[in-house]
Amino acid sequence: MSTPWNPSPADAAPLNLSDLGDVLRAGWADFRRAPRFGLFFGAIYALAGLILLQLGAGLFTWTLTLTLGFPLLAPFLAVGLYEVSRRLDRGAPLDFAGVLGVVWQERTRQIPWAGAVILLYFLFWSFVAHMLFALFMGPTALLGPPGELGAYLSGRGLAMLVVQMTFGAACAFLLFALTAISLPMLLDREVDFVTAMLASLRVTRRNPGVMLVWATVIAVLTLAAMVPWFLGLPIVLPVLGHASWHLYRRAIPQA
C-alpha cells in the first residue's frame, strides 16, 4: 500500500559520496537476500538487450544507436526490484505472486506515465541519432548509413561519434535526474508522476555532484555488464535497482 505525500521545497535531503557506497552495499545485501528475484528481473533486461541487438545485427550504426539508447529504459524495468527492497525493508513476505502482482497493479497508477516519458525519450534519442548520422555522413545515411566500422574512423566519423555521445550523455543525465528518485517514489507514495519527477529534479539540484557520480557509476557498471552479450546484467541490474531504492529512502524524508 502506497502512502500519501505532501511535497515541499525542503523534501530533498543532502547526500554525501559516502551514501553511494552505503546504498551499493545495501543493494548487494538485498540481492543476496533475494537472489531469485534479482536474477529474474535482470534476465528479462538482458533478454531485451539481446533482442534489440539482433534488430541491429549486421549494421553497426543501428547497433550503436540501440545500444546507447537502451540503458535509458533501465529505471522502468527496475520497478519490480524496488518492490522487493520495499518488502525486505518492511519484513513483508517475498513471493513471485505478490511482487509481480504489485508490479501488475501499477499499470493503473502513475508508473506507466513515467514509462511513457522514458519511451518518448528513447524515440527522441533515436531520431536525433539518425539526424546526426545524416548531418555528418551525408543525407544518404538516412536511407542506409554505412555499416562498416572503418567509416567511423575518419575525421567526419569521429566527429559524429563525439557529438552523438556528448548529446546522448546530456540527454541520459536529464532523464536520470527525472527518474532516479521519482520511480521508486511512485511505487512507494501516492503522488502523480509530474510531482515525483519534480522531486527527483530537486534532489539532483541539491546534490549535483553526488548525483552526477551516481549516474556515472550506473552508466559504467551497466555498460561493463553489457560486454559480452549482456551476461553481467542479471547481477549488475538487480544490485543497482536495489541500491536506487535505498538512495530514494535517504534522499526523501520518510513519514
pLDDT digits (tens, 9 = 90+) for 32-74: 999 999 999 988 888 877 776 676 544 555 555 555 555 555 5
Residue 204 to residue 12: CA distance in whole angstroms: 9
Q: How many percent of the chain have pLDDT more than 70?
A: 78
d(CA 91, CA 74): 26
- Average pLDDT of the residues of the chain: 82
pLDDT at 1: 53
Domain segments of the chain as ranges: 12-251
Task: Give the C-alpha separation, 92 to 69, whole Å.
Answer: 35
* Confidence grade of residue 27 (pLDDT, cut at 50, 70, 90): very high
* pLDDT at residue 9, as a whole number: 43
Percent of the chain that is helix, strand, coil (3-state, to 5)? 80, 0, 20
Q: How does residue 5 score in pLDDT terms, banded at 50, 70 and 90?
A: low
**Distance between CA 88 and CA 98 in Å, rounded?**
13
Q: Convert 199-224 to b/e letters by CB count within 10 Å (16 or more is b).
A: bbbbbbebbeebbeebbeebbebbee
15-19, long-range: CB < 8 A, 24+ apart: 15/203, 15/206, 15/207, 15/210, 15/211, 15/247, 15/250, 15/251, 16/210, 17/209, 17/210, 17/213, 19/210, 19/247, 19/250
